[in-house]
Amino acid sequence: MSDLFDCMLIQWPDEQSAFNAAINENPANAGPSQGGRRKRSLVNYSKLWANGRSLKIAFMDTPPAEHKQKIIDAACRWLPYINLKFEFVDGIQGDIRISTNTGENSSMLGTDALLIHPDWPTMSLGVKPDHEDFEVIVTHEFGHALGAMHEHQHPKANIPWDKPKVYEFYRNREMNPINSEQVDWNLFTPFDTLEAIYTDYDRKSIMHHPVSNDLTLGNWENKINREISKKDKTLMRLLYPK
C-alpha cells in the first residue's frame, strides 16, 4: 500500500485564539462581511499573513548547508505567485521556525504559527534530503505555512474513501501512526475558508495528498502531484495579490 506522503497539518486547538491571531495579522482573514454569502465567524475564516510582509524563516537546528539550501529552494518555488518576502535566518527567532530533527513532516496552518511558544518549531521537516520527493514535501509544507489547506479536504473533493480501511491503515502503520480523530482532521473534514470560495477542487494541486486505490471504494486514486498546479498558482495570487 502506498504511503508516499506523510504530512500532518496542525491547527491551533483553541478557535477563539486562532481567530484573534489571524484577524490581528490580516483583517481580510474574516472574509467579506457584507453583501456576500459569508458571515464573519469562527468557522470559516482564513489564516493568511498580512499581504506584502516579509516572513522571517528560522532554521532552529542548523542543518548542513546543502540540506538547508534544498529547503530554501523548495520554499522559494512559491515566491513568484505571492506578495510576501522570505528572509531565512539561523537560530530560534522567526515567524516560521523549522526543525529538521523530529522525524515527521508537519506545519502549522498560516497564522496559527503565531500562537506557538517561541522556543518551539512551527514546521517539522523530517524528510531526508535524499528522499526522492524531498522537494515536493517541503514545498507542500510551505503551502500550509502560507495558509493553504489540504486539497483532498476541499468541500467539493468527494473522495470515495473507504473510511474503516483508512483508520486501520493509519492506526497500524509503523511510522507515525495516528488515531481516528487525527485521520478525520487530516483527511476527511472539509474546510470552509476563502479557498473554497475562490477556487474549485483540483486533483493536481501540490496540496493534495496521494490517495491509494487501496483506501478508496471502487476505482479511485490520485498519484503524487510534484508540481505547483495552475490552480495552486491562481489561489496564491488571489490570497497574496501583488
With contacts defined by CB under 5 A, name the span among 6-14, 18-26, 111-119, 187-195 that binds Zn ion.
6-14
Taking the complex as a whole, how short is the minimal distance between the CB of residue 108 and Zn ion, in angstroms?
A: 11
Length of the chain measured in residues: 242
With contacts defined by CB under 5 A, name the span among 3-11, 23-31, 128-136, 234-242 that binds Zn ion.
3-11
Pick between residue 22 and residue 148 the one whose CB is nearest to Zn ion. 148
Instruction: Report, in this order, helix, strand and coil percent for the chain, each rounded to 5.
Output: 35, 10, 50
Q: Can you tell me the distance from the alpha carbon of 191 to that of 238, in angstroms, rounded to the nearest whole number?
A: 18
Could you give the maximum distance between any two Cα atoms of the chain, in Å? 52
**What cell was used for 117?**
511558544
Q: Residue 200: which of 166, 227, 238 has the closest Cα?
A: 238
Pick between residue 6 and residue 95 the one whose CB is nearest to Zn ion. 6
Taking the complex as a whole, how short is the minimal distance between the CB of residue 48 and Zn ion, in angstroms?
A: 17
Contact flag: residue 145 with Zn ion (CB under 5 A):
no
Contact flag: residue 7 with Zn ion (CB under 5 A):
yes
For residues 9-38, which are near Zn ion according to CB under 5 A? 9
Q: How many helices (H) and strands (E) does the chain have?
A: 7, 6
Pick between residue 9 and residue 187 the one whose CB is nearest to Zn ion. 9
Contact flag: residue 113 with Zn ion (CB under 5 A):
no
Q: Can you tell me the distance from the alpha carbon of 40 to that of 239, in angstroms, rounded to the nearest whole number?
A: 17
Give the residues lining the site for Zn ion (CB under 5 A): 7, 9
